[in-house]
Amino acid sequence: MAILENPNLSQHADLESVSAAARLSVAKRQRLQDVFFHALTLGFSLLVLVALMGILISLVINAWPALQKFGIGFIWRVEWDIINQEFGAAIAIFGTVVSASIALVIAVPLSFGIAVFLTETCPVSLRRPLGTAIELLAAVPSIIYGMFGLFLAAGIVLAFMILPFIAAVMRDVFEIVPPVLRESAYGIGCTTWEVVRNIVLPYTQKGVIGGVMLGLGRALGETMAVTFVIGNSQRLGASLFSPGTSIASTLANEFGEADDFHLSTLFALGFLLFVITFVVLSLAKWMMLRTEKSKGAKT
């Protein structure tokens, strides 16, 4: 009997060794795939970082003649005299910041109201059509907004342009709040506003800030619509409806006909826009970190 069973035992051992070898081969292949995938994603990330650094270095190199001549005073100089080669960024910075601020003041409350309505009180049959209609506003070309708002202030036009971005992000983050949290709040007698204020907003704070920053970035860098309506005047006005200019509008209007030093000044404006955007995003990140620390201290 032992002699008869030996072939089966040998065959079983062979199968086990083959199975172990196959598992080892699969594990080795999976490790190689993980290493390759890690290297690929790391390469993509580094590519973005290298491109960003390349843009920054290019801006600094091309802007250096203007920065060297005017120094830090370039930021608050109001002159913009192409003939005499005297330039300052104060008017363009003022127009950029004011128009973007007006856009946020108008767009953020509207976006918040739209997002709350779509996620909390809107009938189910209307949520998809209304949500799609809001998102379609983001697909309208900026030049169409400029033509539509030809007699409006630039900030108002920017508000309508950034509204779909902020509203869409807010709606999406509001929808990820676990239903059990909402149901529990309503179960103890909370009103809709109390649920939004005490449950939805704290849970989605990062996403809301991210949506606002997305809209602000769009407002700071918008070119065509602002160029249509801002008036493109290199002077400071006391009225919000008086003509002015922004960094993006100045670049669009003058880049094609600028000589060497004028072109360097425009690159300096582009560098300042880069810095302004970076500072704004850094402040937003700092606010988020500070809020998280305060929450941790309370708990």
Q: What is the pLDDT of residue 163?
A: 87
Per-residue pLDDT band for 257 (boundaries 50, 70, 90) equals confident
Average pLDDT over all residues of the chain: 81
Q: Is the predicted pLDDT of residue 7 greater than 70, yes or no? A: no
Q: What is the pLDDT of residue 165?
A: 85
Q: What is the pLDDT of residue 15?
A: 56
Beta carbons of 233 and 78 less than 8 angstroms apart = no
Q: Is the predicted pLDDT of residue 117 greater than 60, yes or no? A: yes
Cα dist from 257 to 170, 196, 254, 260, whole Å = 42, 52, 6, 10
Q: What is the pLDDT of residue 126?
A: 83
pTM for this predicted structure: 0.75
| Residue-wise pLDDT tens digits, 210-232 | 888 888 888 887 777 777 777 77
More confident residue, 240 or 93: 93
Token pair in block for residue 195: 């649920």
More confident residue, 73 or 237: 73
| Residue-wise pLDDT tens digits, 190-208 | 888 888 888 888 888 888 8
Q: Is the predicted pLDDT of residue 186 greater than 80, yes or no? A: yes
More confident residue, 139 or 198: 198
Q: What is the pLDDT of residue 47?
A: 92
